[in-house]
Amino acid sequence: MAYNRCIGTRYCANNCPVKVRRFNYFNYNAEVGVGYGVEAFPSAIEKANRKLQALVLNPEVTVRGRGVMEKCTYCVQRVEKAKIHARKEGRKIEDGDVITACQAACSTNAIDFGNISDEESVVAKKHADTRAYGMLEQLNIKPRTMYLARVRNPHPRLKTTQQIEDLATIEAHHGHGGHGEGDGHDEHAADAHGEAAHNDSAHSDEHHGEEQHAE
């Protein structure tokens, strides 16, 4: 997001089918030293306690002011940092260079993040997995975030008709064109990015515990 260009028509949020966008309806940073109008003048901000409070803000990210839209940026500040770091070392970005905040916080390691245009990366492999699915893919929104369907392994006799059919479809699919499924996903990834050659990165989540619509 280029927050400084956003005037807050909120049209993007209306159109977002997954409704991940959030809007700054008010100035939510008044307590941490971000002011508007008269409050914006340094004399008001420079008070010591406000300067101290402002330390909670990440200096690598723009403070979102009132009236702008925001969403998860996949920790773009960490992505850019990792890319620049890799450039200094004269190499391409690798798995583990970017650890997003959610990934760092997730105690069950359910989240992977990496470069989908690099076929050897963990995310690219997981995107190619038959279990991988994107949310609302039918809308052609080409989501970069993919989920892995829950794995179930019931006793064959306890399988529902649906499960048997699904399994048959998956196996037929696999037998058909080898890595057909996987290639399809890679193409998606490259499309969504456009700049596949330049160390761009992507994201994949994996939800083990949750009920997924795999059946």
Partner 1 sequence: MSLAIPNGLDNTVERPGERAPLVLGNTNYHDITESVCQVAERKPSAGWVGGFLVAFALLQMLGLLIVYLIYTGVGVWGNRAPIFWGWPIVNFVFWVGIGHAGTLISAILYLFRQEWRTSINRAAEAMTIFAVACAGTFPGIHVGRAWLAFWLAPYPSLNLWMWPQFRSPLLWDVFAVSTYGTVSLLFWYMGMVPDLATFRDRSKNKYRRMIYGLLCLGWSGSSRHWMRYEKAYAILAALAAPLVLSVHTIVSFDFAVSQVPGWHTTIFPPYFVAGAIFSGFAMVLTLMIPARSMLNLEKLITIRHLENMCKIILATGSLVGLAYGTEFFIAWYGQVPAEQFAFINRAFGPYWWAYWTMVSCNVISPQLFWFKKCRTTPWIIVVVCIFVNIGMWFERFVITITSLSRDYLPSAWAYFSPTWVDWGMLIGSFGLFFTLFLLFCRTLPVINMAEVKSSLAKQHHMAHAAAEHGEAEH
Partner 2 sequence: MIMERFLFPRWTNPFLLVLGAAIGGGGLFAAAMGGLLTDPVTLNIGYQPTQPVPFSHAIHAGQLKLDCRYCHNTVFDASHAAVPPTATCINCHSPKNEAGQTSLAAVQADSLNLKPIHESWKSGKSMQWIRIHNLPEFVYFNHSAHVNSGVSCVSCHGRIDQMEKVYQHEELSMAWCIGCHQNPNEHLRPKEFVTKLDWEPSDDFWKEHYDVANQEEFALKVREEESINPQRHCAVCHR
Please give the angle made by the CA atoms of 66, 71 and 72, to the nearest 5 degrees. Answer: 135
Q: Supply the DSSP string of 2-15, one letter for each residue.
A: -GGG-----HHHHH
The gap from C-alpha 211 to its chain's centroid, in whole angstroms, comes to: 20
Residues 62-91 that bind partner 2 (CB under 8 A): 62, 73, 76-77, 79-80, 84, 87-88, 90
Residue 133 site contact among partner 2, partner 1, none (CB < 5 to 8 Å, cut-off depends on kind): none
**Rounded distance between C-alpha atoms, residue 39 and residue 47, angstroms:** 11
Least distance from partner 1 to the Cβ atom of residue 8, Å: 2
**Rounded distance between C-alpha atoms, residue 86 and residue 91, angstroms:** 5
Residue 195 as a binder of partner 2 (CB under 8 A): the answer is yes
**Rounded distance between C-alpha atoms, residue 93 and residue 200, angstroms:** 8
Site size with partner 2, rule: CB under 8 A = 22
Least distance from partner 1 to the Cβ atom of residue 65, Å: 8
Helix (H, G, I), strand (E, B) or coil at 169: helix
Least distance from partner 2 to the Cβ atom of residue 133, Å: 26
The smaller minimum CB distance to partner 1, of residues 19 and 179, is found at 19
- Footprint of partner 2 (CB under 8 A): 1-5, 60-62, 73, 76-77, 79-80, 84, 87-88, 90, 92, 195, 197-199
